[in-house]
Amino acid sequence: MNYKNLGNTELKVSTICLGTMTWGEQNTLEESFQQMDYGLDQGVNFWDTAELYSVPPRAETFGSTEIIIGNWFEKNKKRDKVILATKVAGPARDYLRKGENSFVGKNLEEAINGSLKRLKTDYIDLYQLHWPERNVNMFGKLGYKHEREDDQWNKIEDVLSELQKYIKMGKIRYVGLSNETPWGVNKFLQLSKEFNLPRMMSIQNPYSLLNRSYEIGLAEISIRDEVGCLAYSPLASGYLTGKYRNGNLPKGSRIERDGDFWTRYQKPNMEKAVEEYYKISKKYNVNFAQMSVKFCEIQPFMTSVIIGATTIEQLKENIESVNIKLSNDLIKDLDEIQKIYPNPCP
């Protein structure tokens, strides 16, 4: 396994992160335990979850993933072996704090204490804001429209001050962002320095061969300011494994189960781009999924690539990607496809 520092800390996290959002939905408790056992045995010491999981989010399964992880900690007594990341959700869920949009006060207190209780731990290593309070373009949305009424969100320095309280209590160690913009990351960094408040250590945003938009504005911030990317959806919900090629729809797969939820990957040039990337994997005789993951891992702005597998075979394949090499010629070929089909699934 390979390891990198989390932000500017001395904390070493594996460059493959164990994603968990299917646990409690597509994966049973037993299957989830098997993934945790195997991942840790392979040196994957970094796990990512969220209070909102499992996915697709539903009131009936809210918090189920954290509960499964907590049960594993209770059974195996290996909490100290894991660098654990979770997230506080934003608005738009009536069953979650009545849909209130706030990362301060009672909302934040309820979120942190709820996660700690479900996870059966007394601290969280990395606590992330799942998406901004303010109105931003996420999940491929274009045409940003700024309206004055959208400015009714807590000041960033107030959010950081609230997070600082829980750091001082020992409930969280470090903080990070998710689904954030370059403007947002810069403001968090600026205000943390100005007011001597906690510094954001990571940015969990999408990154894959089908979506390299992170490189446009956030990559420079990650490198210059040591706020590394935690890439989610590196396999584009399975499209970059090749399993959906030629109209295939494997039984039990995410798209077969919940296709309406994953429409961000069902775009006009997606299939054409996938086919070209698949051809490159065949040309150089490398596993398609492993090539896709490794491409993410080797980026200079990358801290860790979040792998969400639904079978132990998929997990083994994805973890093994750390041991493969991508030649310069292969990378050049990948870049050529990006020029032809730039970011088909932003």
Backbone dihedral angles phi then psi of residue 95, each to the nearest 5 degrees: -80, -5
Question: What gap in Å lies between CA 133 and CA 136, rounded to an integer?
Answer: 9
Tokens of 9: 């800390």
Q: Is 169 exposed, middle or buried (0-12, 13-18, 19+ CB in 10 A)?
A: exposed
Q: Residues 6 or more apart from 51 whose CB is under 8 A from it?
A: 62, 63, 66, 86, 87, 88, 89, 96, 111, 114, 115, 118
Q: Give the helix/strand (H/E) hosting 82.
A: none
Contact at 8 Å (CB) between 69 and 36? yes
Spot the catalytic one: 3, 38, 53, 123: 53
Peptide bond connecting 56 to the previous residue in cis, omega within 30 degrees of 0? yes
Ordered DSSP codes for 189-222: HHHHHHTT-PPEEEEEEE-BTTB-THHHHHHHHH
Active-site annotation holds for 53? yes
CA 324 to chain centre: 22
Taking alpha carbons only, the member of 152, 163, 223, 213 closest to residue 188 is 163
Question: What gap in Å lies between CA 124 and CA 167, rounded to an integer?
Answer: 10
Tokens of 179: 């689904």
Cβ neighbours, 10 Å, residue 115 = 25
Q: Which residues carry out catalysis?
A: 53
